[in-house]
Homo-oligomer: A and B are copies of this chain.
Amino acid sequence: MNAIETLVGEFGRLPGIGRKTAQRLTYYLLKASSDDTRRLARALDRVAAEVKVCAACGNLTDVDPCEYCGDPRRDRRQLCVVEEASDIPAIEKSGNYGGLYHVLGGRLSPLDGVGPDDLNLHGLLGRIAEGVDEVIIATNPSVEGEATATYLHRLLGSSSDVTITRLARGLPVGGDLEYADGVTIAQAFSGRREM
């Protein structure tokens, strides 16, 4: 297979990138300077070579412990439990969480064959046993994420006196009541707060 076809094929293996997009990206790089193409190749090589899983929290990182676990300014008495390492940048960007993270590496999904043994729960229980004040469950607001949150609540609630919280459900800021789905509005009602 020639070089162009090979690159189209490799781009096409990425999620959400169909054959047409793969061709478009390939021809874009062919028209760009070969330095641009090589810089992307080097960035990929670096990720393949340097990125590993943080032994403490399960975050993807190029230093172990990761930048959060290794930061002495962060509050070690708070653990925010997320499904994936990719959820962490979104929380960090929100800018008002200063504790540590714990990455489950997925969510309970019986249909996909993902059970509790597939999640990084052993590590979570170990970290809680070392002394944590609050576990903030930040799984996704999806059916599987909710099921995972419920499972975690039962698992942790029985074994320790740690405070377990979860992120509020409600109307997204900048959203439009008119277009919000019924479940979100119902949760916004049941979670309403006195002003």
Q: For A6, give its contact among B7, B9, B43, B60 (CB under 8 Å).
A: B43
Q: Digit string of A1-33 for contact with B (CB within 8 Å is 1, else 0)?
A: 011101101110111110001011111111000
A7 and B41 within 8 A (CB): no
Min CB distance A91 to B, Å, is: 13
A63 CA / B2 CA spacing, docked (Å): 9
Select the stretch in A45-53, A129-137, A153-161, A165-173 that faces chain B. Answer: A45-53
Q: A84 at the A/B interface (Cβ < 8 Å)?
A: yes
Most B CB atoms within 10 A — which of A9, A10, A84?
Answer: A10
Min CB distance A156 to B, Å, is: 26
- 11 A-B contact pairs sorted by A residue (CB < 8 Å): A2-B61, A2-B67, A3-B50, A3-B51, A4-B47, A6-B43, A7-B43, A9-B43, A15-B28, A37-B45, A41-B42
